[in-house]
Amino acid sequence: MDKFVKINNRPYNELHNDFKKLLEFIGNDFKEREGDFVWSLGRISDWKYGIWNENKYIPSFLRKNAQLWFDNEILAGFLISEEGDNSFTIFSKKEYRHIYSEIISWLKSNWKDRGNRLITEMHETQLEEINILLSNGFVDLGEIAITRKYQFAEIDLSINLPIGYSIVDMNINANYVSKKEMQNNAFRQDIPVTEFDILAYEYNRESPVYNAKYDMSVIDSNGKHVAGCMAFVDYDNEYAEIERVCTHSDYRRLGLCEALLKECFKRLSLDNIKCAYLTGFNEKANGLYAKLGSCYQRRWNKYVFEV
């Protein structure tokens, strides 16, 4: 690829079918990196469909928080912010890796008003991109998370669920209120569930990678959702990323999430999915994920640029 070819960029545009382009890019990026992915299909889908903060209620959010670089009709790379804040991620195809520096220059000129610093997460295998960041003044703040890959064939998938509890999915038990109450307890300081929360949940189900049978919960004898997880599947690459893993604070230390994740592994395996990824951002999560079986670890670091 001639690195002097003129690459043009523009904001994300729903009318140009850009979301489909991003999904295809992420799927191909997984293949190119041989599994050392930066984002999964679930994460890019949540950028659009996971409206968990008020910034995402505004129709212009997508346009303002994704800039796409093209070589004619080929999507060569893009810059994206999940939350519309000072955090960002840059993607570039292998043959267009030379535009990474160009994207950083555009970022520093056009997103400089997003706070005193710009923050990005990097996979430890992105050595070329990390060197470009460091040469542009970014500072390594160290490890922020551990991602583990689970090969189902190597894991003991026997399940020990306490008496009185059962595992369901949102096809079988679509109690959105109970599920959101459990998630709000775990992730949002137990704030009350609103009508908007339920509408947002329904919108999330429109994601092309959402499957209700992988939107799973443990329920107690009264049908209350007390632990949960959600798997997003890339069928072309035969892997899943499991997110939203949580347990209600009144039901912890019972082994509920461990049983739930193993059941999720079983279901994925029956769908001919070969492996799954889990990312832990804190000691408790990583302690749980380490119990699940044979795995290898991938580590992510965060870099900060002071504007």
Would you say how long the chain is, in residues? 307
* Overall fold of domain 150-299: Aminopeptidase (3.40.630)
Q: What pTM does this model have?
A: 0.92
Strand order in the sheet with 87-92: 8-11, 66-71, 74-80, 87-92, 117-123, 295-306, 139-151, 275-280, 239-247, 225-234, 215-219, 166-169
Beta carbons of 203 and 154 less than 8 angstroms apart: no
Neighbours of 135 (CB within 10 A): 10
- CB–CB of 79/65 below 8 Å? no
Q: What's the topology of domain 8-137?
A: Aminopeptidase (3.40.630)
Domain spans of the chain? Answer: 8-137, 150-299
**Average pLDDT along the chain, 307 residues, taken 10 residues at a time:** 71 97 96 84 95 89 98 96 95 93 95 90 89 92 89 90 97 95 92 93 94 97 97 95 96 96 96 93 90 73 66
Question: Rounded to whole angstroms, how far apart are CA atoms 56 and 197?
Answer: 13
**Using CA atoms, how far apart are residues 302 and 221, in angstroms rounded to an integer?**
42
Determine phi and psi for 143, rounding to 5 degrees. Answer: -70, 135
- What does the pLDDT read at residue 189? 87
Residue 9: alpha-carbon gap to chain centroid:
25
Say what the pLDDT of residue 306 is.
Answer: 61
CB 69 within 8 A of CB 75: yes
